[in-house]
A and B are shown apart, each in its own frame.
Chain A
Amino acid sequence: MTVNIERTVDAARAAAAMDTAAAMSDPAGNVLEARGLSVYYGDFQAIEDVSLPVVRNRITAFIGPSGCGKSTMLRAFNRMNDLVATARTEGEVVFGGRNVYDRGVDAVELRRHVGMVFQKPNPFPKSIYQNVAWGARINGFKGDMDGLVEWALREAALWDEVHDKLGQSGLSLSGGQQQRLCIARAIAVRPEVILMDEPCSALDPLATLRIEELMQDLKRQYTIVIVTHNMQQAARASDFTAFFNMGERRQGYLVEYGATAELFTNPRDSRTEDYITGRFG
């Protein structure tokens, strides 16, 4: 399968610009919102007092130098930090009208609505079909599983490549295909938000481009938050960007948040400008 890179990039850019304009005109629909969020690992403070919205059906990118707490921030949204024994969270993340860190909120239920795609493609050592079906099944899906698997694989733009080998191991696919399989797996649970933690860092440029195209398709139905080290990726693929930096105690903090076009062309903060022009980081 050949991909005309230039054309797709242009198309993606155009679509992103249009969508961003639409989002700016309607800034109301926040699906997630962090309010004064701080996360600690033991005595170490990983992020400090971050407040930012995640706009529905838009792509929000987190950028910043290594170790500035982008991933921790992302994982705070679906409480994946709970899995680290020493992790402690202060502040609020509002989702579905509640603070997800309230006592009564079950992290398992939250993660069913806020799915995740990881840095390194991590399909289960099961067949392609089972990879997609498993999440839906454990969440109690009782309907037409074959239909769901096909739908999720089509949504993840993987169906054409794997429809005749659904019984093969998910690990037999290439890196880019594995990552799309992981996206299909996340989609099959029908979440509202998909968190992506540097999903392209282990992929080649072509596979990266396919994921970026896919994100543009997915945002019609889902909200996407993506952590990326690649500023070009943030610039071309996201609608909103949050720039994080590291303080003198190595704690991450939010420097600037805004519409991507705005932040990259006309940053308000000099640190943002230094970072995006490559002066540090």
Chain B
Amino acid sequence: MTPESGSQGPAPDRNGHTVIGAGAAARQVAARHSRGRLWLAGFQAATVVAIVALAALVYNVTSNSMGLIAYTVAVDAATLTAEGVSVKEMRRDEMVRILESRLSAQRLRVLDVQGPLAQRSHGELSRILEREVIRPKVVRSFGALESVFRRAEIEAQVGREHPDARLTWRRWWDWQFVTSPQSSYPEFAGIRTAILGSLWMIAITVAVAMPVGVAAGIYLEEYADRGRRINQLIQTNINNLAGVPSIIYGILGLTVFVRALEPLTSGAALGLTDPTTANGRTILSAGLTMALLVLPVIIITTQESVRTVPPSMREASFGLGATRWQTVRHHVLPYALPGILTGAILSVSRALGETAPLVVVGASTFITTDPTGPFSKFTVLPMQVYQWTSRPQDTFRDIAAAAIIVLLVLLLLLNSVAIVLRNRYTVRY
């Protein structure tokens, strides 16, 4: 019988043949497996931490964005008509009559200038009625979960502290929230202005950063001589620029677009000055600043996508007598397109969520008029969120959470567009 050899040795039986499942080799394998299980446990724990963090974020946002609210009214809707119906059930002529009797002559004139009351829709009239006559005011709001599970306690508490208040369930992110302009009453405030501002800014960002970034990426990857020091310097700089804090781009935008190029960015040079914005704090300045911000990322993702084009494709093309441009146009670009688009859309997502540079460039904190073009004053969604969260009233925090939900939905939409584009244009080998 052979003696049992070192840790690697098999466990021979009486005849010297290996016996599986016994001996030093089996013990050594078991030890390797248990080390592996330890690492696996670590990876699982990390994943759990990530999921918990994400769940906490979702909980926090949804909890604030809906739930029970206690509100008081200046006038009870039921007292407005003889039948005591709610605003929804009132007829249009009834509402016009109520408004005419309740509002001041001056206010009525203002409303009439915006559009004669008699010609307004039911929805419009009921909104005016709500805002100007009934005037609800939220005195207390509760999180979604406690609203569901501790309803009785909340009712008792509200009855105690605000005897004249009513309790109702309110989900802040509804269609009216998306379509209403900003207002100083949180109950009526919406994010239409901010959404339009965001969309305008993104459009300018894409229109500028996409062509410039893709062209620069193609030049650096396909044409530039990597051996030359100047090109290495440019490459290093672009890589570093991608990591520069966004506030610095804001300062750059302020100096260059808002101040130095003011005649251009305010539209004055084109004779398009909006009287309310006699300076460069316009959507155009913001869009250009954001374009600078995402440019390095677009250049780098373009380069990376171009680099994934198999060398055999280039060789095949050159071997047929194609010029470099023909090779790029017909083989490199189509192959790299999904990657380029994905990178571009992800950087647009980043621009959509950026706040810091816009604070510096001068996005408005309170604005109720929609942007009408690149030379308008503006605000954007994250600005709106930032501004609302800094207000002392609870209700503003609730609608800030609702705005965050809308922003997240927009970002998810953009990301899914990126995925669809990538799958659609991917060339398979």
A residues adjacent to B (C-beta < 8 A): 78, 80, 83, 85-86, 108-109, 111-112, 115-116, 118, 120, 122-125, 134-135, 138-139, 171, 182, 185-186, 189
A207 CB to nearest chain B CB (Å): 18
Task: List residues of chain B with CB within 8 A of the CB of A122.
Answer: 310, 312-313, 315-316
Q: Select from chain A the residue with minimum beta-carbon distance to B316.
A: A122
Residue from B227, B312, B323, B330 in contact with A120 in the complex, judged by beta carbons closer than 8 Å: B312
Give CA–CA (A111, B327) in the complex, Å.
14
Q: Are A116 and B322 in contact (CB under 8 A)?
A: no
Tell me whether A125 and B330 are in contact (CB under 8 A): no
Q: Which of A80, A115, A122, A186 has the most CB of B within 10 A?
A: A122
Residue of A nearest to B225 (CB): A85
B122 within 8 A of partner (CB): no
Residue pair A134, B313 in contact (C-beta under 8 Å)? no
- Contact assessment for B320 and A134 in the assembled complex, using a CB-CB cutoff below 8 Å: yes
Indicate which residue in A85, A108, A138, A182 contacts B316 across the interface (CB closer than 8 Å).
A182
| Contact across chains for B322 and A108 when beta carbons are under 8 A apart | yes
Contact B321 A124 (CB under 8 A): no
> With the chains together, A124 CA to B428 CA distance in Å?
11
Decide: A138 near B320, CB < 8 A? Known: A85-B225, A124-B313. yes
Q: How does the 8 Å CB contact mask read for B291-320 relative to A, with 1 for contact and 0 for none? A: 000000000000000000010111111111
Task: Give 10 pairs: A residue, B residue, CB < 8 Å, sorted on A.
Answer: A108-B321, A112-B320, A118-B315, A122-B312, A122-B315, A135-B321, A135-B322, A138-B322, A138-B326, A186-B320
Q: Are A78 and B319 in contact (CB under 8 A)?
A: yes
Decide if A135 touches B320 in the complex (CB within 8 Å). Answer: yes
The reply to whether B321 and A111 contact each other, CB–CB distance below 8 Å, is yes
Q: For the A-B complex with A135-B320, A138-B320 known, give 16 more contacts whose Cβ atoms are closer than 8 Å.
A: A80-B319, A83-B314, A85-B226, A108-B321, A112-B320, A112-B321, A115-B320, A118-B316, A124-B331, A125-B335, A135-B321, A135-B322, A138-B322, A138-B323, A138-B330, A189-B320
Q: Is B230 an interface residue (CB 8 A)?
A: no
B269 part of interface (Cβ distance < 8 Å): no
A158 to chain B, nearest CB (A): 17
* Residue B103 CB within 8 A of the other chain: no
Across the interface, which residues of B come within 8 angstroms of A134, CB to CB?
Answer: 320, 330
Query: Could you tell me which B residues sit within 8 Å of A by CB distance?
Result: 225-227, 310, 312-323, 326, 330-331, 335, 427-429
Give every chain B residue within 8 A of A108 (Cβ-Cβ).
321-323
When the two chains form their complex, are residues A124 and B326 in contact, meaning their CB atoms are under 8 A apart?
no
Contacts of A120 in B (CB 8 A): 312
Which residues of chain B are near A185, meaning CB under 8 Å?
316, 320
- In order of increasing CB-CB distance, the 6 nearest A-B pairs are A112-B321, A135-B320, A116-B319, A122-B312, A125-B427, A111-B321
CB within 8 Å for A118 and B319 given contacts A83-B314, A85-B225, A138-B326: yes
Given contacts A125-B427, A125-B428, A171-B429, contact A138 B321 (CB under 8 A): yes
Q: Identify which of B225, B316, B335, B427 gathers the most chain A CB atoms within 10 Å of its CB.
A: B316
| B335 partner residues in chain A, CB cutoff 8 A | 125
Q: Which residues from chain A contact B427 at a C-beta distance below 8 Å? A: 125
Whole-angstrom CA separation of A134 from B313 in the bound complex: 13
CA distance A86 to B226 in the complex (A): 10
Distance from B312 Cβ to chain A, minimum over Cβ atoms (Å): 4
Question: How far apart sit A116 and B316, CA to CA, in the bound complex (Å)?
Answer: 8
Which of B319, B322, B330 is the one whose CB lies under 8 Å from A186?
Answer: B319
Whether A139 contacts B428 in the complex (CB less than 8 A), given A125-B335, A182-B316, comes out as no
Please indicate the chain B residues that have their CB under 8 angstroms from the CB of A111 in the complex: 318-321
B326 CB contacts on chain A under 8 angstroms: 138
Q: How far is the CB of B227 from chain A (nearest CB, A)?
A: 6
* In contact, A83 and B321 (Cβ under 8 angstroms): no
A107: nearest residue on chain B (CB-CB)?
A: B318
Q: Complex: how many Å from CA A183 to CA B147?
A: 74
Tell me the complex Cα distance, A112–B313, Å: 17
Question: Cα distance A189–B317 when bound, in Å?
Answer: 12
Q: What distance in Å separates the Cβ of B42 from its nearest Cβ neighbour in chain A?
A: 42
Chain B's nearest CB lies how many Å from the CB of A7? 34
| Contact residues in A for B322 (Cβ distance below 8 Å) | 108, 135, 138
Nearest CB of A to B108, in Å:
69
Q: Which residues of A contact B320 (CB under 8 A)?
A: 111-112, 115, 134-135, 138-139, 185-186, 189
Q: What residue in chain A is nearest B334 (Cβ atoms)?
A: A125
B220 vs chain A, min Cβ distance (A): 14
Q: How far is the CB of B104 from chain A (nearest CB, A)?
A: 72
Q: How far is the CA of A72 from the CA of B60 in the complex (A)?
A: 64
**A124, B429: Cα distance in complex, Å:** 9
Question: Beyond A108-B323, A124-B331, A138-B326, is A80–B318 a contact (Cβ under 8 Å)?
Answer: yes
